[in-house]
Amino acid sequence: MFGLGKKTQNKTAPPAVPAVPGPSATHAAPMPSATLGVTEQDVLGALARIQDPDLRRDIVALGFIKDLAIDRGRVAFKIELTTPACPVKGEMERMAREYVGALPGVEKVEVSMTSQVRAVGPATMGLMLPGVRNVIAVASGKGGVGKSTVAANLAVALHSTGARVGLLDADIYGPSIPGLFGMTGRKPVIKELPNGEQAFEPHVGHGIKINSIGFLPPLCDDPMQPVIWRGPMVGSGVKQLLQQTDWGDLDYLIVDLPPGTGDATLTLAQTIPLSGVVIVSQPQEVALNIAVKALKAFQELKVKVLGIVENMSYFVCDNCDKRHDIFSHGGARLAAEKFEVPFLGELPLSSDVRESSDSGTPVVALKPDSQQALAFMDIAKALAAQVSIAGFSQRKVIPLRAI
Ligand SMILES: Nc1ncnc2c1ncn2[C@@H]1O[C@H](COP(=O)(O)OP(=O)(O)OP(=O)(O)O)[C@@H](O)[C@H]1O
Ligand SMILES: [Mg+2]
C-alpha cells in the first residue's frame, strides 16, 4: 500500500518467556564454606524474604537474582526485574541491602538494579515484529475521551523509566500523534535495511520512536485532507505501517487505536499482534457504559485487557484547591472491579494536560514534576506491572475470529 518492499526478518526474535528458574540457576560463584563467613545460601535465604507484590512470589524463586558474588564480607548481586518501570524498585533495593547487610559477617552489600522486559503476546508477534517485546493498544469506547493524550504520555512515562518505547498512531482517520509531539508536517524517511528491503525510519520525539499515517502524503502536506479508506484497507494499511517501520529493539510499542469498537478498531485489534489493550474512559455513566462495551468486545476477541484508565476523573481548582468531580468520579474503578480487570489509575482534568498537548510536548515531558505527570507515571508503572503479570500467565495463542 505504501510502495515499500516487504520487510523480512532481519533481527533475532525476542526470547519466549523463560520458565521461572529455581534458586540454583541464579548464581555463578561457587558456594563458599560456612566457616569462611556468609554463604550463598545465607544470602539467597535473606533475599527470599522479599516478595514481588505483583507476581506474588519471592524474588529468588522468580529468578531475579543474578551474578551473586561473595568475597569475604563483601556481597554483590544484581536484581533483574521484569520491567524498568517496576513501582517497587526502590523499595526492593532498600530491603535487599537491609536483609543481606544484617547477615553475620557481611560488611558491604553491592546491589545493582537491572531489568529484562519479557515478550508477552501471540506467537505471531515475534514473526511480525522481531525485536518488539510488547505491543500495547490504547482504545476507548467513544471518541474524545483522551486516548491519544494517554497513549502519548504513557509512552513518555515508560521511556523515562529507562524502557525502549515506540508509538504507532493507528488512528488512520484522525491521526493526532504527530501534533502531540510537535511533528506535524514531518515527511516519511525511507531507509534501506541491510537485507536490501526498504522500511520507514521512525521519527524520534522525547526518546520515543514514532510512526503515523499523518507522516505520509497527503497528510504530511495537508493534515486537513480526509483519509478515505474502507474496511480491508484499514487493516492492511496499518499492518504495513506497523511491519514496515524499522522499530529496532523495543520493550513496549504503544498503539493509539481509532475511537470506538467499529470495524476499523476491531480489524486492527485482530491484525496487530497485541500483548493487551488499555481502555480509556471518562467517569460519567454514559461514557463508562460505552467503555464497558469496548472492554467486552476486546475480551470476545481474546485480547487481554491490561486495565482501565479513568481520564478527566476530577478537577482541582487553581484558586481554591478544591476538588470538583465534574464528570462524576470513580465509575471506571467500579467497572474494573465488576469485570475483574485491573484499574490502572485516574487522571485529573487539567488545562496543563490540554495546553502541553496543544504545544506539542506531552505533559510528562514538559512538566515531569507536576501532579498530572506523576499521575501518568503511576499509571505507566501499573501498566508495566500488568504486562509482567501477563508474561507469567501467558496464553499461548490469540485466535483470530470475527465477532
Ligand atoms: N486529562 C485531561 N485534561 C484536560 N484535557 C484533556 C485531558 N485528556 C485529554 N484532554 C484533551 O481532550 C481532547 C481530546 O483528547 P484526545 O485527542 O487525546 O482524545 P481521543 O480519545 O484520542 O480523541 P479521538 O477519539 O478523536 O481520537 C484534547 O484536546 C486533549 O488535549
Ligand atoms: Mg485520538
- Tell me the HSE value of 229 on the side-chain side, using a 13 A CA sphere: 20
Please name the residue whose Cα sits nearest to atom 5 of ligand 1: 354
Ligand 1 atom nearest to 149, measured from its CA: 18
Indicate the average pLDDT of the chain.
85
Whether residue 108 sits in one domain with residue 219: no
- Sequence-ordered alpha helix ranges (H) in 32-165: 40-47, 89-101, 123-128, 147-160
Q: What range does the domain containing 354 cover?
A: 123-392
The whole-number pLDDT of residue 394 equals 60
Rounded CA separation 292/295 (Å) = 5
Residue 131 lies in a domain: yes
* Count of CB atoms situated within 10 Å of the CB of 297: 20
**Which one of the ligands is nearest to 311 CA?**
1
Residue pair 52/95 in contact by the 8 Å Cβ criterion: no
Q: What is the pLDDT of residues 251-302, one digit of tens each?
A: 999 999 988 887 778 877 888 889 999 999 988 777 778 888 889 999 998 8
Q: Looking at residue 4, what is its pLDDT?
A: 67
Assess whether 233 and 321 both reside in one domain. yes
Q: 180 and 328, same structural domain? A: yes
Ligand 1 atom, smallest distance to 312 CA: 1
pTM of the model: 0.86
Shared-domain flag, residues 226 and 306: yes
Domain boundary among 87, 115, 143: 115
| pLDDT beyond 80 at 304 | yes
Is 380 within 8 Å of 161 (Cβ atoms)? yes
pLDDT at residue number 17: 32
pLDDT at 64 over 90: yes
φ and ψ at residue 61, rounded to 5 degrees: -60, -30
For residue 2, being part of any structural domain is answered with no
- For 165, the 3-state DSSP assignment is strand
Locate the ligand 1 atom nearest the alpha carbon of residue 351 and give its number.
4
Distance 384 CA to ligand 2 centre (A): 22
Residues 143 and 67 placed together within one structural domain of the fold:
no
Last residue of a domain, one of 66, 97, 115: 115
CA atoms of 179 and 358, how far apart (whole Å): 7
Cβ-count burial of 22 within 10 angstroms (0-12 exposed, 13-18 middle, 19+ buried)?
A: exposed
Are residues 95 and 142 located together in one domain of the fold? Answer: no
Number of domains forming the structure of the chain: 2
